[in-house]
A = this chain, B = another copy of it.
Amino acid sequence: MRQAITELAIATPGQGLHEITDPVERWVADSAIETGLLTLFVRHTSASLLIQENAAPAARRDVERYFAKIAPESAGYEHDDEGPDDMPAHLRAALTATSLSIPVAGGRTVLGTWQGIYLFEHRRVGHRRRVAAHLIGG
């Protein structure tokens, strides 16, 4: 049994779902761990992780519109130090995932056919996001 740990740097172009399945799978393959457990952890409170439909861009746009509606910019938040998209970003992060754990088999994650891993950027402006990745197995 052994482990690998790294940090993936992801430059987001702005608000929305940005697929990171490829760099994640590449790192898993490079680790040469055949069977194990992958954990991703986003080191921010205004971005989050989401497993979503990887085939239909319309589904991703619906997801983005949905979170914009249930945690809107115009709700009179007390905290707005960094602008109107600051507090909604924290709320959308709270409603989705900060960490995700995915079993690994045959040297790759067991993601289903229609699943992709997405970094959900909640700020309007693109950011350089850091996602910690840990893999344990053999």
Interface residues of A (CB under 8 A from B): 1-3, 5, 7, 35-37, 39, 41, 43-45, 50-53, 56, 58-59, 61-63, 66-67, 70-71, 75, 77-79, 81, 87, 90-91, 93-103, 105, 110-112, 114-115, 130, 132-134, 136-138
Contacts and interface: CB of A to CB of B under 8 A. Distances in A.
Nearest to A66: B91
Given A59-B90, A103-B132, 20 more contacts: A1-B2, A1-B3, A5-B35, A36-B134, A39-B103, A43-B110, A45-B51, A51-B98, A52-B90, A62-B79, A62-B90, A66-B71, A66-B75, A66-B91, A97-B98, A99-B100, A102-B132, A105-B132, A110-B132, A136-B137
Contacts of A52: 45, 90, 94
Contacts of A132: 102-103, 105, 110
> Within the oligomer, what is the number of copies of this chain?
3
Contact of A39 (B37, B43, B94): B37
Contacts of A62: 77-79, 87, 90-91
Mostly helix, strand, loop or mixed at chain A's interface? mixed
Interface centre among A63, A99, A102, A133 (most CB of B within 10 A): A99
Contacts of A130: 112
A42 B41 CA distance: 18
